[in-house]
Structure 1
């Protein structure tokens, strides 16, 4: 199955809980999935089959709600190539710091 890139930003809303700790719950789900990912200051980018990434994203948002968020804003960005895989490496390798 071909890989895509999916950028996921979950913005929790809570009157009582720390936002960063809620976001950490989403990242824990992504880490546990075993897929390739990269956490950035604004979103987490995942690489893998589209169906699998969408299922992981749904579990991540559910984890934030289960952790006590009153609501979540969820933003997806996807890059899908008609013929072939999309990788994070092809876009970022030349910019890696030594």
Structure 2
């Protein structure tokens, strides 16, 4: 079972470019990492091992730089429970 949930809102600094194409690329980095994730209107939440999720955040930021963004703001929230945590368990009463 995963020990962390990590939500990220990535905001690349771009000049006169479509920021959504950059966000799509950031989400593609998550998708290629083969972790459980959900895209929401204001952030994307991933489920996995904390160290793995933090590496994905690094890769997302590096991808933004590769695409030409001169800077990136990443707002990150982490829920960490060594004994295990899941998105479904936290939200089951709402489903």
**By the TM > 0.5 criterion, same fold?**
yes
Classify the secondary structure of the residue corresponding to 1:15: coil
Q: Pairwise CA RMSD of aligned residues? A: 1.4
Q: Is the 8 A contact 2:2 2:47 kept in 1?
A: no
Aligned residue pair count: 95
Aligned to 1:90: 89
TM-score, length of structure 2 as denominator length: 0.91
CA distances 1:27-80 after superposition (whole Å, capped 9, x unpaired): 000000000001111111000000000001110111112112121111110001
Q: Which runs of 4+ in 1 moved over 6 A?
A: none
Cα distance in 2 for residues equivalent to 1:46 and 1:20: 19
Matched, 1:67 2:67: yes
Cα distance in 2 for residues equivalent to 1:28 and 1:41: 16
Q: Which runs of 5+ in 2 are unaligned?
A: none
